[in-house]
Every structure is written in C-alpha cells, then in structure tokens.
Amino acid sequence: MDTKYIICVVGTRPEAIKMAPVIKRFQLSKEFECRVLATGQHTDMLDQALSHFGILPDFNLKIMREKQSLDYLTSSVLEGVGQVLDKEHPDMVLVHGDTTTTFASALAAFYRKIPVGHVESGLRSNDPYLPFPEELNRILADDLSTLFFAPTIHAHQNLISEGRDRDKVFITGNTVIDSLFWTLENLGSYKPDWVAPLLPKNRIVLVTAHRRESWGQPLNSICKAIKIVLSQYENLHVIFPVHKNPEVRKIVYSCLSDQKRVTLCEPLSYPDFVRLMQLSYMILSDSGGVQEEATALQKPLLILRYQSERPEATEQGTGVLVGTNTDLIIRECRRLIEDREHYKEVTNKPRNPFGDGKAAERIENIIRSFFHTT
C-alpha cells in the first residue's frame, strides 16, 4: 500500500480530546501521512485540548467570532475546509461526532468525492431538536460518510437499522476512553492547587451545563436546584466550570456567584477536569462526553437532559436522566447523598460499556484494511 494521506478535522474541545488518540496513532504510522485541520469553531478551548496531547494543527481556519450564528459557522467551515481540501487532495477525511464542524467538513469532502470516516458514528436521540443542532449534524455526517466507527453496540444497531452498508460499519469503542486512560496514566498524584483546601472536609459536586436547549429558564432551574441542595447539606462544595458562551455565563453568574460553597471558574484544562471528575462525589452535566467519562470512572452522574443518545450510561446505572427539573435534580441528589447502599451500587459497576482504551488502534487497522482492499 502506498502511503495514504489523512486529514483529521477538529473544531471544538470535545472533538480535539476524542480525535487526539486517532491523530497520534496515524502520526506514528509509516503507512499514513496525517495532518490536522482545526476550524477554530472554538479557539482557546480547542488549542488547550490539543496542546495537552502535544498536537499542533497543520491548518487553522480560526473562524470563531463573537455571537457566531449556525449559518456563519456552517458556511465558514464549508468554504474554509473546502479550500484546504482543494489544495491538499487527501485520500480520506476523518471527522468526529456531531458538531457544525463535523457536518460541514463531511459535506466539503463529499463535494470533492473524498472518502469520509466518521468517528463516534451512529449516536441517536431520535429527536432532531435534542440536542440541537447536534442530532441532525451527526445524521447528516453519517449520510455523507464512507466508513462508520460506532463506539458501542447501540450505535452500531442504529446505523444498521438505517440501512448503512454493514461491511462499512464497525464497533470500535469510544476514543474518549483512550484519551481518559492516557491522561490518567500521565497525571500521577497531581491535583489542582485550588482544589486541595476543599478536601477532605467537603464532598465535591462537579457541574457543567452549556447546551442550547438549556439556555434561559432551564439553566435557571438547574441553578435553583443547586442552591437548594447546598442549603440542605453543609459538607457539599460545588465546582462549576462555566462555558464561555455569554448566554450561559449571564445566568450562572447571576444565580450562583453569591453562594459561599460554589466555585465558578473558567473552563478547565482536560487534565484538571479529569482529576476533578476523579475527586468528585457526584457529577451533574448535560455533556455527552462526561456521560462516557463518568461511567468509566464509576462516578454517579445526573444527566441534565431529558433524552440521551448514550443509553449505555443509564442502562449501566451510573447515569440518571433528570433534565432541568428542579425537583427531580434535588430528589436524585438526596438519594445519592443519603442512601449509602444506592451510592455503593452506582459506584461499583463491573464493566465500562464505552470502551477499553483501544478504539484508535481499531480505527487505524480498519482504515488500513480499507485502503488495502480498494
């Protein structure tokens, strides 16, 4: 097989974290030339995540601007990625997940008849507006893809039921587990300096919330639940890394900045976030990746969404869908705090349904086989 040229496209922090193991595999291979195209859908958080893994983008579109619309993002990524592809002529483009970068990059590759490999393919909530616009982004990316790297059995079944070519759909595990394990191996005994004074007197509750469907009143309801739970249990301390989106920051800071046992901080580096997950008593989040990471770390997770494309977390019992319902959030927090047997059961699950840390290796082997047979 002649050396094949792969371009891996990333635009956001989660994409960078989840694509990093794939990028590193290809960069070490003698059979592939791999270059990284960063769209800059997010800027600082994307660069921060890539640097943790020692990855520098070969191309950076730097498209991010204040109050960017979905129209702007889609058109900017489509045009910018298209220009790079016209110049570079790669043999394959790899995209990840469900962002606007994912969809628009896959479309740019399709327009040039370049095969697309979709990492974390096949996730479905079965509601086009939950999460928005991610659910439709990932479906459209799959429509444009040649190879489908499904992280779980559920994702594989979704793709097969949609009529995708069975010979092109592969269960690989989720690459975020590769990144998580690699990060844990390199953390040693490290913990952020500002966290140490909070331990061991307090139980840490880690909170993240950023999705569009949570903006406005839903986020207010989440913050209200946090305040009530804190008022009822004096040994809790909430750490809330606040997303940079102004819609999120406005609500979170207005609701929680006056709370003594709440630390509001900037988005954390990936190592700091991994360590905080490890140190947490429980986690509240609307993030998809956190559902996978918390399950792998055996940490109780209240999922601040009403539907999830990752049913493995709820089936495993580490995750509970609570949406943004104040009463339901409070009830499930109380259960984890007061019912020790329930907490033990949640934190002692024997297996991780999201992967074994070898997803990137499988993806590389599948792509190698694809080029050997085409």
Q: Which of 134, 135, 292, 312 is catalytic?
A: 134
Q: Which of 52, 164, 210, 275 is catalytic?
A: 210
Angle at 369 between CA 154 and CA 147, to 5 degrees: 40
Place of tokens 């999922």: 303
Whether residue 137 contacts residue 102, with contact meaning beta carbons closer than 8 Å, is answered with yes
Q: Which of 15, 47, 91, 120 is catalytic?
A: 120
Q: Which of 15, 98, 135, 309 is catalytic?
A: 98
Q: Which of 212, 261, 342, 368 is catalytic?
A: 212
Active site residue 243: yes
| Type of residue at 67 | K
Rounded to the nearest angstrom, the gap between the alpha carbon of residue 142 and the centroid of all alpha carbons in its chain is 18
Q: Which of 13, 96, 118, 243 is catalytic?
A: 243
| Cα 290 to Cα 272: distance, rounded to the nearest angstrom | 14
Q: What sign has the CA pseudo-torsion 224, 335, 207, 320?
A: negative
Token digits of residue 135: 């659910």
Active site residue 327: no
Whether residue 239 contacts residue 204, with contact meaning beta carbons closer than 8 Å, is answered with yes
Whether residue 257 contacts residue 226, with contact meaning beta carbons closer than 8 Å, is answered with no
Please name which of 73, 12, 15, 23 lies closest in space to residue 360, comparing C-alpha atoms.
Answer: 23
| Cα 67 to Cα 46: distance, rounded to the nearest angstrom | 17
Active site residue 154: no
Please name which of 30, 36, 32 lies closest in space to residue 4, comparing C-alpha atoms.
Answer: 32
Active site residue 89: no
Positions marked catalytic: 98, 120, 134, 210, 212, 243
